[in-house]
Every structure is written in structure tokens, then in C-alpha cells.
Structure 1
Amino acid sequence: MKMIKAVIFDLDGTLLNRDASVLKFVENQYDRLNRGLSHISKEIYISRFIELDCRGYVWKDKVYQQMVDEFRITYLTWEMLLNDYITEFHHSCVPFPNLIALFEDLKKESIQLGLITNGKGQFQMDNIGALGIDSFFDTILISEYEGMKKPNPQIFLKGLNQLNVLTNESVYVGDHPENDVKGAENVGMVGIWKRDLAWGDVKAQYVIDDLKELPLIIRELG
């Protein structure tokens, strides 16, 4: 194994605590738009959004269309709710612990950092900015901008090419067993799974529960 020269990350569920962020956002949205939502209890509004959202795998146009229909929301359109989501979500971004400290440590070791995430371009850039981590990255690839998404091997290879590192000089860290871990392994990178209990027991060469565990694995690989 060569020395590890680059670490590439997923965003949602890996650096961004998406579950906590969504909960915070939906609570704020209900309060902010209460005039049009007051006929629904806050708890029911929040729980139904989280259910329909399917942890981010259903885009919000479908979520809000369903909610407007189910809850007979008349004062607000689904487009208004969606626009509120797009423009306001980044104010509710919650990072996982030890995020900035990890990036500072990796940079001190002269390790390049990249980010490859599926999602909408400007929306994800706003969230990256809200976490205060955009300046750490040497490359950022977002599926909407790239016209391809994980686990397509080409998006991983493009990131490695931009960092000018070989596949066996790099690791990829993500929470999705197929899109992240297998996707990275399929191009020859080391896939590191950031454990997410929703996926059950995932077979991965390396597993972390906290970002602070990552430098130890990188030293071991190097």
C-alpha cells in the first residue's frame, strides 16, 4: 500500500448530520410558515416530512406535493414550501462532531481533501458553506453539476484525476454501503464506512463511528 495522499468524503450522513439538520429545519419551517400550517400539529408535520423524505432519497417536490394534498394546505403551495426548503435549509446544517479538527489535522499532514456528493448543485454548495468547510477542499464534485452520480466509477475517477493521485493512494469515506463504500472500492480506492445503523451490519474493510477515528486508519494504511 502506498502512502495515503488524499481523502475524499461524502457529505450527507458523513460530514453533515443530516438527520439532526432535517429535524431542525422542519421545526423552523413550521414556525416560520405557521400561518399556513397552523391547522396541523407541529409533531405530525415534522414526523410526516421525515417519513416522506426517506432520509433524503426522495426529492422535496414530491414530498411537499404529498403533504399539501394530505394535509389540505391551501394558504401555501408546494412550490412555496419547496422554495423555502431550498433557500433556508443551510441555516439548519448541523455538523458531526470533530469535523473541523479532523480537517485541520489532515491538512497538517499535507493530505489533499476532496468531496463527492450526490444532490442538487447550489443546494449542496450552500450546505458545504454553512458547515464552514469549503476552503479545506482541493476538489468538490456534485452529481447535478457533473451529470453523473455515485456509484458511477467515473465520478470517483474524475475526483482522483483532479487531485492527481492514484486510486491506491486515496480513501473514500461515506455512509452509504453501495454508493460510497462499494463505489469507491470498485475503482481501487479504500472504502471507509461511517456507520449508519439504518443500513444494518455492513461489510467494510474499515468502519468508523466518529470522524476522529479516521487519522488512525490513514496512519495504519500508510
Structure 2
Amino acid sequence: MTKEMITDLFFDLDHTLWDFERNSALTFEEILEIHNVRVDLADFLEVYVPINLHYWKLYRDEQITKEVLRYERLNKTFEELKITVSNSTIIQLSEDYIRVLPRYNHLFNNANEILSYLQPKYKLHIITNGFEEVQNDKLKNSGIAHYFDHIINSESVGVKKPNPLIFEHAMDKASSTPLQSVMIGDNLEADILGARNVGMHTIHFNVHDGTPNEFGITINDLLEIKQYL
């Protein structure tokens, strides 16, 4: 990656800038209490988090709908925990989760600092698989919406990362080319391999402490981006 050639940076949102796990935990703490679901939050999250990741992969791979994802990730969690929760409560929890989640606005350490550093030098954009109705609220409520020129959402494009069409659509919107573009994200499959398959440069934010990979630059703190851009 030649720094002088780069004009456009494309960020993932959840797990990259916006601290999804922290904000999600706070949301569940609120809504489980509202609906009087008696479960220890730590026990709930221990089961829910991997189930949610599994269903998101199915959704990303076009194997399930958004509605199935929202319902089944909760339904399977309660089944695993052997807690009886009515269908109507699960539906209400799934709706409340989407409504409440964007109210929490914790970002990863140094997110604002790195965006402030990068914005004068490059055009910044978002490419997200998250639900369209909440992603804009996340950006606005966390105070980072003003950094970005284009917000590319999989629901509006019609395909999800790692489908090459969403990256090509994003570059078309930004009037950039693969050699001018860098994708920065946490998910090795969706963000890094997806972007590399269309010729983009990549920076992998190893927020999950995964095993080292050979796919270009890896960072463990957002400020490390300064070493490359």
C-alpha cells in the first residue's frame, strides 16, 4: 500500500468504530429488566454472543432473513439457558433491542482521535451490513456522523459484505478505484477478504484477538492506523 496513492478510506461500523458488544450488553441489561426476564446478564451474554455471531453469518450468507435473525438469536439463547419465554415476549424484546441499541453510544478507544486525524487527509466512508434503520442513529448519537461522506448500507445496496458488489458500489459512490481505497474492519471474512477480492487495500482491526493472518496490515488499536496513513 503506497500512502501517497490513497484517497478514500472505508470503515466498518460495528466492532470497528462503534463498540457493539458494550452497547449491546447495556441494551440487554435495560430491556431484560423491563420485560421481567429473570436471567443473570453475564450468563445471558455468554450464550447469546456466539449464537448472535452464528446467525449473523447465516444472514450475511443470504441463508436467513433479517426477521429470522432477530427472532432466532433470542429464541435459541433462551432455549440454551432453559428459560421459558413466550413468543410474544421474544418478539417484543427483538423490537425493543433495535429501538434501544442506538441510544448507547460507546466507541472504541481512540476512534474520535483517529477519525479527526484522517479526515483532513482522506475522504472517509462507512460500509456496513447492519440494519439500515439503526446504523444512521448509531453514527449520529455517537457524534461521528460528520466525519463520513457516504454511508453504504447493505440493505440499500441489496447485497452484504463480502459480496464484491457492495465494495464496487461504495467505490462508485466515492469516485475512487481499488488502488486508491482502503477497507478498515474487524471481520476477516466480510471486511478484509471481501475487500481484497475486489483489489482494495485493507487494514484488519484485530479487536477479537484472533490468530495472526497473512492478509495485509493488522492493528490492535485504532491509533496504529497513523503508522500506515
| Distance (whole Å) between structure 1 residues aligned to residue 41 and residue 24 of structure 2 | 14
The aligned counterpart of 1:125 is 136
Task: Tell whether 2:28 aligns with 1:26.
Answer: yes
SS class of match (2:228): helix
CA offset digits 1:116-162 (Å, max 9, x no partner)? 01121112222222221112111111111210111111111111111
SS class of match (1:114): strand
The aligned counterpart of 1:48 is 47
Go from structure 1 to structure 2 and tell me whether the alpha carbon gap of 1:160 and 1:42 turns closer, same or farther (over 3 Å shift): closer
What is the one-letter code of the residue matched to 1:19? E
| Distance (whole Å) between structure 2 residues aligned to residue 132 and residue 92 of structure 1 | 11
Q: CA deviation at 1:51?
A: 4.1
Task: Tell whether 2:109 aligns with 1:97.
Answer: yes
The aligned counterpart of 1:14 is 16
- Percent of aligned pairs with the same amino acid: 26
SS class of match (1:7): strand
- 1:16–1:95: 8 Å Cα contact kept in structure 2? yes
The aligned counterpart of 2:118 is 106
Task: Tell whether 2:64 aligns with 1:65.
Answer: no
Could you tell me which of 89, 94, 97 is aligned with 1:85? 97
The aligned counterpart of 1:116 is 127
| Distance (whole Å) between structure 1 residues aligned to residue 87 and residue 161 of structure 2 | 38
- 1:115–1:140: 8 Å Cα contact kept in structure 2? yes
- 2:15–2:186: 8 Å Cα contact kept in structure 1? yes
| Distance (whole Å) between structure 2 residues aligned to residue 191 and residue 183 of structure 1 | 10
- 2:154–2:160: 8 Å Cα contact kept in structure 1? yes
Consecutive unaligned residues of structure 2, counting only runs of 5 or more, are 58-68
Consecutive unaligned residues of structure 1, counting only runs of 5 or more, are none
- 2:186–2:207: 8 Å Cα contact kept in structure 1? yes
Go from structure 1 to structure 2 and tell me whether the alpha carbon gap of 1:42 and 1:18 turns closer, same or farther (over 3 Å shift): closer
| Distance (whole Å) between structure 2 residues aligned to residue 74 and residue 150 of structure 1 | 33
Range with bigger deviation, 127-136 or 9-18: 127-136
- 2:55–2:73: 8 Å Cα contact kept in structure 1? no
Q: How many residues align?
A: 214
The aligned counterpart of 2:164 is 153
The aligned counterpart of 2:187 is 176
- 1:68–1:74: 8 Å Cα contact kept in structure 2? no
Residue pairs, 1:133-152, within 5 angstroms: 133-152=144-163
